[in-house]
Amino acid sequence: MQQRISLPRICIALGLPDVESLLAHARKEYEAGERFLEFRIDYLPSPENGVAAIRKFLARHADCAILATCRRHQNHGRYNGSVEEQVRLLEAAIHAGARAVDLEIESAENCAERLQSLRSRACLLLSYHNFGGTPPLEPLLRRMTRISADGYKIVTTARKPSDNLRVLNLARANPKTPMVLLAMGEAGFPTRVLSTVMGGLYTYATPSAAGGTAAGQVSARQLRHLYRVEKLSREARIYGVIADPVRHSISPAVHNRALQARRADAVYLPFLVKPAQLKDFLLLAEKLPLAGFSVTIPHKQKILRYVDVVDPLARRIGALNTVWRKAGKWRGANTDAEGITVPLERRLRLGKASVLVVGNGGAARAAAYAIAQSGARLAITGRNLDRVRALAKACNAEPLSREQAESRMFDVLIHATPLGMSPRVDQCFFPGRVPGKLVFDLVYNPLETMLIRKAKEQNAQVIPGIEMFLEQAARQFEIWTGDNAPRAVMEKAALEALASGQNAAGA
């Protein structure tokens, strides 16, 4: 952008269907402290009314920077007029007080002679959008920079993790070219946080009380207070969680609050990684680079093949939930095991107890091996009896069918399946009696599962899954940072995230 105009790092995208709503949301954002708003006048039945709205809004809020956009239908906007009419509307928006205008490269290439008049009174941002994927970007940038502008906005769609890397690397490779670089969609969310860190001019956010104008946008509050986009330096360490799905993870809320409490120049991001994309993600992790990351469903076992050094217990478990880089090598551990044993050992002598583990996935394997290592008498049950028998044989446990398990009573029952997890909160592995004196449900969303409720009705002692989550997260934090985890801060963040139904990656 032109040096005479300084714009904040976050632009609130306002795409509303009528002028009254547009102005109401603009005022609300202004009152919340926002000073950079995009008026999408193409969303209005009559964009001319959007020009009048800019003038009306700035009459009372002159210190606010307005970016006017009137994207044509051919370029995934809502304006059906000609390029000439589009430019005329942008000129009118500038006359009404807009400090910047956004014009698609497709339109700009058809009216190059008129662009100088736009630039003489405001900042001109040339934009390109690709809703299908992320094409080769250097040729695209060369195409765009053939036309003089104050900034170049390139927005693609991330189909795989490494698309984030390609978008962010464009900023690294062209530090003298003013750009706005973003990848749409849940898989592209990391670019919305990191683009300004890598040198991008600004990023976009949704208004606090309305939807956004592109897939993957989140509120300015989240960008500013959870991800701290305005405070991260270019040397900031990057952590994250890989999962599919990932948008409902509370890990970003918990770890970012912990990093903030320790005043770390670091951020923790959600990475959507499909089952077939693990190798592609490791390319991103290596080149970005990531300092460490959490691993959850469905990658805990497959990630083993990509890690150079594996903790012995994690190797026996056959699953990792924590990966970090040290001395140029990826190292892996399983903090789920401590997340299970530490809460139990606060309540009983585990080595003297009889324990039933329910399940045979990654969390169940962590529980089974950790319990076996403690010396407790271990039994395992689950829906897939073949897998139950295999796990039981591997850790010298007794395999049981559900019916056999229900007929017994154990000192400890550890539930390690997804049954009862939101949104399927009405599910429970045991339809009748719960065979445990102390019931530890590793599901933490909701905080009180159907299994926990049934156990309480039987006067059993219970441990909610949030205790396991917080213990394993605290251990992850300590592995990555070498600092003590701020446990009280992390617990408060987790409970707030669960209470609000907050998701870190946005819709």
CB contact set of 369 (below 8 Å; sequence gap of 6+): 313, 316, 317, 337, 395
Contact between 101 and 67 (Cβ < 8 Å): yes
pLDDT of residue 459: 97
pLDDT of residue 506: 28
DSSP H helices, 180-268, are 189-194, 220-221, 251-261
Q: What is the mean pLDDT of the chain?
A: 95
What tens digit of pLDDT does each residue of 302-350 get?
Answer: 999 999 999 999 999 999 999 999 999 999 999 999 999 999 999 999 9
pLDDT greater than 60 at residue 507: no
CA-closest candidate to residue 270, choices 506, 104, 28: 506
pLDDT greater than 80 at residue 6: no
pLDDT of residue 1: 46
Exposure string of 150-172, with b = 16+ CB inside 10 Å and e = fewer, is bbbbbbbbbbbbbbbbbbbbbbe
What tens digit of pLDDT does each residue of 29-40 get?
Answer: 999 999 999 999
CA-closest candidate to residue 415, choices 465, 456, 457: 465
Question: HEC states along 177-199?
Answer: CCEEEEEECHHHHHHHHHCCCCC
Question: Helices 487-500 and 465-481 sit at what angle, rounded to 10 degrees?
Answer: 130
DSSP H helices, 352-464, are 362-374, 385-394, 402-406, 450-457
Token digits for 271? 């990475």
Peptide bond into 245 cis (omega under 30): yes
Which residues are marked as active site?
300
Summarize the confidence of residues 265-283 as an average pLDDT: 98
Whole-angstrom distance, CA of residue 351 vs CA of residue 349 = 6
DSSP H helices, 267-421, are 278-287, 312-317, 336-345, 362-374, 385-394, 402-406
Whole-angstrom distance, CA of residue 463 vs CA of residue 438 = 8
pLDDT of residue 501: 74
CB contact set of 29 (below 8 Å; sequence gap of 6+): 12, 14, 37, 207, 208, 220
Whole-angstrom distance, CA of residue 438 vs CA of residue 343 = 11
Pairing of the two strands 398-399 and 179-184:
unpaired
Total number of residues shown for the chain:
507
CB contact set of 131 (below 8 Å; sequence gap of 6+): 76, 157, 184
Domains and CATH numbers, the chain: 10-234 (3.20.20.70), 238-334+470-497 (3.40.50.10860), 338-463 (3.40.50.720)
Whole-angstrom distance, CA of residue 357 vs CA of residue 369 = 10
Contact between 204 and 182 (Cβ < 8 Å): yes
Whole-angstrom distance, CA of residue 317 vs CA of residue 251 = 22
What tens digit of pLDDT does each residue of 82-106 get?
Answer: 999 999 999 999 999 999 999 999 9
